[in-house]
Amino acid sequence: MEKHYIHPLPVRIWHWVNALGFLTMIATGVQIRYLDLVQLFPFKTAVMVHNWVGLLLIANYFLWLGFYMFSDKITVYLPEMNAAKFFQEFWKQLKYYGHGIFLGEVEPHVATAYHKFNPMQIMTYQIIMLLVVPVLFFSGLLLWDVTQFASIVAMFGGIRMVDTVHVLMFIVCTAFLIMHLYLITLGHTLLAHIKPMLTGYETVNKRRYR
């Protein structure tokens, strides 16, 4: 095994703030939406926490965006420009997740500081971070103060439409989180994919280089 420094400190801080923030948003959001079924906190507390944590996550998002836009680490989110090669690597990764991982095969992608995501991760993160999350935040801001943003809410079809979009983005993010939690347990040890987000160092199997 070899250790590579993959996750810089700013990325690790962003990751854990984001993780704890989204778990809080899920818990409070479910209660706000289904008050008759879920009562973890007083309703006013749930709304207040949901709003303030939402603002924190928006600020955290722009820190993430600024870090990658103004550093050379942006390459981790850029796909292979050769389409044939990209989809060939994508197919290898798909086969690995589909059955290879259960047969003890070696991960086809080698994570490095500038190319830490495999093709499937790149596509997923681009959709989540550049489409789903911004729409989630924007719709959430509109619902935060529907009076102040009444004209914008009306432009997008009214409160029901904005609320529906917000809930749909919430469902997508929750599904992504569940899948993410599942995948991080698939390392060579149970904590193999969790420790790197604490230390910054990813353990790489030497068999990849044979």
39-62 residue pLDDT tens? 888 889 999 999 999 999 999 999
pTM greater than the 0.85 cutoff: yes
Q: What is the pLDDT of residue 9?
A: 93
Rounded CA gap, 167 and 29, in Å?
A: 9
Q: What is the pLDDT of residue 1?
A: 64
**Contacts of 89-95 spanning 24+ positions with Cβ under 8 A:** 89/118, 89/119, 90/119, 90/120, 90/123, 93/118, 93/119, 93/120, 94/120
Q: What is the pLDDT of residue 206?
A: 53
Residues near 97 by Cβ (< 8 Å), separated by ≥ 6?
A: 120
Is residue 167's pLDDT more than 70? yes
Q: What is the pLDDT of residue 57?
A: 97
Q: What is the pLDDT of residue 208?
A: 47
Inter-CA distances, 19 with 24, 37, 142, 178, 208, Å: 9, 25, 23, 12, 31
25-29, 56-60, 165-169, 186-190 — which is least confidently predicted?
186-190
Q: How many Å separate Cα 208 from the centre of its chain? A: 27
Closest listed residue to residue 25, CA positions, set 105, 143, 124, 130:
143
Mean pLDDT, residues 99-116: 86
Q: Which one has a higher pLDDT value, 20 or 102?
A: 20
Q: What is the pLDDT of residue 150?
A: 95
Annotation: CATH topology of 2-209: Fumarate Reductase Cytochrome B subunit (1.20.950)
Q: Work out the percent of the chain whose per-residue pLDDT is above 70.
A: 96
* Beta bridge partner(s), residue 204: 2
| DSSP track, 131-198 | IIHHHHHHHHHHHHTTTTTHHHHHHTT-HHHHHHHHHHHHHHHHHHHHHHHHHTT-SSSTTTTTTHHH
